[in-house]
Amino acid sequence: MKAAVVRESGGFSVEELTIDPPKKGELKIRMKATGVCHSDLSLIEGRLPLPLPCVIGHEGAGIVDEVGEGVTRFAVGDHVVLSYVPACGECSSCHNHRPHLCTSGKMTGKMLDDTARVHSNGEDINVMQFLGCMAEYAVIPETSAIKIEKDIPLDKAALVGCAVMTGVGAAINTAKIEPGSSVVVFGCGGIGLSIIQGAKLAGANKIIAIDVADNKLAMAEHFGATHLINSERDAPVQKIQELTGEGADYAFEAVGIPVLMEQAHESVRRGGTAVIVGVAALTDTVTFNALTLAMSAKTLKGCIYGDANPPVDFPRLLDLYKAGKLNLDDMVSRSYSIDEAPQAFEDMKNNANARGVIVY
């Protein structure tokens, strides 16, 4: 099969690899679509420390091609969206309906039994997040698959596996935005645009989008932003104060840049909530004024995977899509073949797409 592989930090290439059949409790998925996410780029550029060589891709949808021993919940031909956190079902996070926080799967690039399914001339190749789904096939734990209805286009469904779940979930599950709220979103990539959609769904009144790229701001407006700030032209915190009076009710950082995290915290009113969604580098730190932290009574929340409960939330988001309330169609602004994956990442670096998607 063809797959996008990082062998040394700084680049990747599309290679011909072999993949084993699924073992006990695993599925082999024929991939139909894989979203191109900044976290893939972080892995390529070495900011996300995962053992190499590694197949990238963690936002995908496909069709079950083969089921491993003991699998009863899936059959060949089922359509699935992949979750990038396999949930064990037994730890306290899973028991507390917070499977996105399950840590049973270690980030070694191997499968849950600590062995590899993907190989290159006998050499083991790791996979990102138990998926490595920027490839024609992926063997994954069955707990990483969520069955979906067959009438949903898989290139749209794929986005629910990361960007859309993370962004809409940050707005609805993490922040629990109330109708009439004022909301600020720093960064209008796939996640930021999904936060905007989530804020709109939640009935926010003002949705202020911030980015350095005017075409991203135009996309933000298309998905529901009511006010746009180009942070290269205007000082965002000051502008937000002008637009909201005392600061926003909610601010979201969706880039992974420390200074934007500080600005998000500064942008909310006393008692407001700043949610950090962007994935920064392991070595980054943020600074907050120690007195203001207490005196402003603001809530600062981290958010991973939009506080998703994938078996419940993925179908819920796709129902909203089918009802015309969540716009996934315009989120996919360009499709690429797997051979065009390098171009897809170049386009992402140039802010060209809402989301680029590899299709097979």
Q: Measured at CB, which residue is nearest to ligand CXF? A: 39
For position 182 contacting Zn ion by CB under 5 A, the verdict is no
**Cβ-based nearer residue to ligand CXF, 50 or 243:** 50
| Cα 155 to Cα 33: distance, rounded to the nearest angstrom | 5
| Cα 194 to Cα 212: distance, rounded to the nearest angstrom | 18
* Residue choice 14, 146, 193, 279 for contact with ligand CXF (CB under 6 A): 279
* Residues in CB range of 353: below 8 A, 6 or more apart: 36, 333, 334, 347
**Cβ-based nearer residue to ligand CXF, 101 or 218:** 101
Residue with tokens 């891709």: 57
Q: Which stretch binds Zn ion (CB under 5 A): 39-47, 75-83, 88-96, 177-185?
A: 39-47
For position 143 contacting ligand CXF by CB under 6 A, the verdict is no
Residues 156-175 contacting Zn ion, CB under 5 A: 162
- Omega into 49 within 30° of 0, i.e. cis? no
* Residue choice 58, 79, 100, 269 for contact with ligand CXF (CB under 6 A): 58
From the list Zn ion, ligand CXF, none, partner contacted by residue 279 (C-beta under 5 to 8 A by kind): ligand CXF
| Cα 162 to Cα 128: distance, rounded to the nearest angstrom | 13
**Cβ-based nearer residue to Zn ion, 162 or 220:** 162
* Residue choice 129, 181, 226, 309 for contact with ligand CXF (CB under 6 A): 129
**Cβ-based nearer residue to ligand CXF, 100 or 117:** 100
| Cα 345 to Cα 45: distance, rounded to the nearest angstrom | 11
- What is the size of the binding site for ligand CXF (CB under 6 A)? 7
**Cβ-based nearer residue to ligand CXF, 191 or 320:** 191
The string of DSSP codes covering 141-185 is EGGGEEEE-TTS-HHHHGGGGTHHHHHHHIIIIIS-PPTT-EEEE
| Cα 82 to Cα 96: distance, rounded to the nearest angstrom | 21
Q: How far apart are CB 39 and Zn ion at their closest, in Å?
A: 4
Q: How far apart are CB 40 and ligand CXF at their closest, in Å?
A: 8
**Cβ-based nearer residue to Zn ion, 99 or 189:** 189
**Cβ-based nearer residue to ligand CXF, 162 or 268:** 162
**Cβ-based nearer residue to ligand CXF, 129 or 327:** 129
From the list ligand CXF, Zn ion, none, partner contacted by residue 84 (C-beta under 5 to 8 A by kind): ligand CXF
- DSSP 8-state secondary structure symbol assigned to residue 229: E
For position 227 contacting ligand CXF by CB under 6 A, the verdict is no
Q: How far apart are CB 21 and Zn ion at their closest, in Å?
A: 27
- Nearest Cα neighbor of 35 from 171, 128, 172, 148 is 128
For position 84 contacting ligand CXF by CB under 6 A, the verdict is yes
- What are the Cα distances from residue 101, in Å, to 95, 308, 313? 11, 9, 15
End-to-end Cα spacing for the chain: 11
| Cα 144 to Cα 166: distance, rounded to the nearest angstrom | 16
Q: How wide is the angle at C-alpha 272 spanned by C-alphas 274 and 309, nearest 5°?
A: 50
For position 162 contacting ligand CXF by CB under 6 A, the verdict is yes
Residue with tokens 């089921």: 67
Q: Encoding tokens for residue 136? A: 């024609």
Q: Which stretch binds Zn ion (CB under 5 A): 36-44, 68-76, 259-267, 269-277?
A: 36-44
Q: Encoding tokens for residue 122? A: 């006998």
Please give the residue ranges that form the binding site for ligand CXF (CB under 6 A).
37, 39, 58, 84, 129, 162, 279
